[in-house]
Amino acid sequence: MVTSAESGRTRAGAAAPLGPAAGAADPGHDPVDGSGPVAFLGPEGTFTSEAADLAAPGRERLPLPTIGDVVDAVRDGLAPVGVVPIENSIEGAVNVTLDTLTFGPPGVFLRGELALPITMALLARPRVRLTDVREVRSMPVALAQCRGRLAALLPGVATGTTTSTAEAARQAGASDGTVAALATPNAAARYGLDVLVPDLADHPGNTTRFVVLGTGMAEATGADKTSLVVFFGEDRPGLLLRVLEEFALRGINLVKIESRPTKQALGEYCILLDCEGHPRDARVAEALRSVHRHVAQVRVLGAYPRADLRRVAPAAPDSDTAYAAATTWYAGLLDDISP
């Protein structure tokens, strides 16, 4: 946690890369390459368990019942790395992940990301037919991804929520056959179920973005993103525009913008931003400093290699070289001042 004492504002710094799949900048210091378990939203058989295997293959595994438990395990040192879902292409943000990171205690940061194609299958006990199903269970985000097709396929069927897709599969396996689950097809074999419908998502290309958690930001790779939260602290015209302009003026692309209630008062929101670049980039550093001057608090949730490893070269006036030249020029200007 970095605190600006002179202003009374607080900035939370930071989180290091996925590993080889995301172009790890410093493998010697990346917890994915060290010892200790990878914590993830369990049990085994969830989509997050598949993401954890991709992020930290061969590592000891620590499945946990909730996203909050995963974040706490990393913060408390029970696991050096954690994996949680943060965004889905159909339903958008996984709000419990955003809120846990945004409003929770400091010490856990994003240090990697990966995108995983999602196939949401309808599973039930062997020999169960669609007409036998009276309830479909899964975690809320999974049910929402299949809302339309589920209603068309099983009109009027009840739905129930679980802590994970794998837990839904376990419950379907333990039921009398009237309960089905929305889960990964891999969960069928794990829990002794049949696949009634192989893919029930409302829209094609269903993809979930997962983030890797650690206790320090990744070093810059040249293909990076930075995630932050801005708390305005006051309601005045143009403040949001002023924040966004600090990035636009420096040629920094914002790849995601969304708002969340601050939990303090009705109608009071903070904004979450993902921008291209890394705090070590001169233009990103300047933008963060400028935003900090205008708002109550800036909390940096992490900086990490992009999942697609795409490098974005700034325009010449926004490059580190241009910023360094401007700093040298200004230092020379000050040398010309006489007492």
Three-state SS annotation for 319-339? CHHHHHHHHHHHHHHHHCCCC
Are both 280 and 180 inside the same structural domain? no
Any domain includes 326: no
Are both 72 and 15 inside the same structural domain? yes
Which of the listed residues 178, 201, 224 is the one where a domain comes to its end? 201
Beta-carbon contacts of 155 under 8 Å, excluding residues fewer than 6 positions away, are: none
Q: What is the pLDDT tens value at each position of the chain, 339 positions in all? A: 333 333 333 333 323 333 333 333 333 335 555 678 999 998 888 899 999 999 999 899 999 999 999 999 999 999 999 999 999 998 899 999 999 999 999 999 999 999 999 999 999 999 999 999 999 999 998 999 999 999 999 999 999 999 889 999 999 999 999 999 999 998 999 999 999 999 999 998 999 999 999 999 999 999 999 999 999 998 889 999 999 999 999 999 999 999 999 999 999 999 999 999 999 999 999 999 999 999 999 999 999 999 999 998 999 999 999 999 999 999 999 999 988
- CA dist., res. 235 & res. 237, Å (int): 7
Any domain includes 330: no
Residue 61, CA atoms < 13 Å, CB-side half-sphere: 20
Any domain includes 286: yes
Q: Which residues pair with 305 in a beta bridge?
A: 224
Are both 152 and 188 inside the same structural domain? yes
**Alpha-carbon torsion 24, 307, 67, 138, what sign?**
negative
Beta strands in 262-333 (DSSP E): 269-276, 297-305
pLDDT score, position 10: 32
Are both 250 and 175 inside the same structural domain? no
pLDDT score, position 18: 34
Are both 15 and 95 inside the same structural domain? yes
Are both 219 and 197 inside the same structural domain? no
Domain containing 296 equals: 11-117+208-305
- CA dist., res. 287 & res. 282, Å (int): 9
Contact call for residues 250 and 229 (beta carbons, < 8 A): no
Are both 212 and 113 inside the same structural domain? yes
Contact call for residues 74 and 39 (beta carbons, < 8 A): yes
Are both 249 and 176 inside the same structural domain? no
Q: Which residue has 């368990």 as its token pair?
A: 49
Are both 128 and 108 inside the same structural domain? no
Are both 167 and 125 inside the same structural domain? yes
Are both 105 and 155 inside the same structural domain? no
Any domain includes 136: yes
Domain CATH code at residue 158: 3.40.190.10
Domain CATH code at residue 216: 3.30.70.260
Any domain includes 317: no
pLDDT score, position 192: 94
Domains: count for the chain? 2
Which of the listed residues 201, 221, 242 is the one where a domain comes to its end? 201
Any domain includes 184: yes
Any domain includes 139: yes
Are both 212 and 133 inside the same structural domain? no
Any domain includes 332: no
